[in-house]
């Protein structure tokens, strides 16, 4: 299956777009759900890549995604537990989960170098979409100072992951 990068990026942007149901922006419980789901989706893709990737560098990147996003989710869960906020499923987190499931289904059909390319291409688009959502929706909407601070703290990790994925993308394209 050939993946159109522009279409993929557009699709992910739509997933993170603020639905009219909460035009004022997601609430803190909804943000908590979006954060946990966004991290878990990338952890799941990383776990699949660890078993299927052909390139050692792609496997190393996949392990990094699992480790880093697990660390972010651990901190997010600890914070919402402390704040007594119950993550609330919402259209964005549901779309993220569906997008993650669809991505896994598509990746499972790939193998070898085609898998590596499909996985890394998706990682580039996914991290860009997450960063855009963090900047335009999640940080501006977060009401609790500690939740907002957590989002600000993890943003550089997403930037580093995006840069790393782009570098891999360039190497795989050679």
Partner 1 sequence: MCTWVQVSAAAVVSLTLAGTAASTDQAKTAPKTYVISMQIVGFDPPELNVKPGDRVTWVNKDLFPHTATADDKAFDSQSVAPAGNWTFVAGKTGAHSYICTFHPTMKGTIKVQ
Residues that bind partner 1 (CB under 8 A): 64, 67-68, 70-72, 74-75, 153-154, 156-157, 160, 163-164
Q: Is 13 or 155 the residue whose CB approaches partner 1 more closely?
A: 155
Min. distance of Cβ 157 from partner 1 in angstroms? 5
Q: Residue 100: which of 124, 66, 126, 70 has the closest Cα?
A: 126
Q: Is 8 or 31 the residue whose CB approaches partner 1 more closely?
A: 31
Min. distance of Cβ 56 from partner 1 in angstroms? 14
Q: Is 5 or 153 the residue whose CB approaches partner 1 more closely?
A: 153
Q: State the chain's maximal CA–CA distance in angstroms.
A: 49
Min. distance of Cβ 131 from partner 1 in angstroms? 13
Q: Is 69 or 95 the residue whose CB approaches partner 1 more closely?
A: 69
Q: What is the DSSP string of 104-170?
A: HHHHHT--HHHHHHHHHHHHHHHHHHHHHHIIIIIHHH--SHHHHHHHHHHHHHHHHHHHHHHHHHH
Q: What is the 8-class DSSP label of residue 23?
A: T
């Amino acid at each position: 299956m050939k993946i159109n990068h522009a279409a993929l990026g557009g699709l992910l942007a739509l997933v993170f777009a603020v639905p009219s149901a909460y035009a004022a922006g997601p609430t803190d419980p909804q943000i908590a759900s979006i954060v946990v789901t966004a991290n878990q989706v990338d952890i799941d893709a990383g776990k699949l890549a660890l078993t299927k990737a052909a390139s050692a560098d792609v496997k190393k990147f996949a392990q990094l995604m699992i480790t880093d996003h697990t660390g972010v989710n651990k901190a997010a869960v600890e914070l919402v537990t402390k704040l007594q906020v119950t993550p609330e499923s919402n259209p964005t987190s549901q779309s993220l989960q569906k997008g993650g499931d669809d991505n896994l289904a598509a990746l499972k059909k790939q193998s070898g170098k085609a898998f590596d390319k499909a996985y890394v291409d998706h990682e580039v688009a996914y991290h860009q979409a997450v960063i855009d959502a963090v900047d335009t929706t999640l940080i501006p909407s977060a009401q609790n100072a500690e939740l907002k601070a957590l989002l600000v703290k993890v943003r550089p990790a997403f930037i580093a992951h995006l840069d790393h994925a782009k570098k891999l993308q360039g190497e795989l394209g050679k």
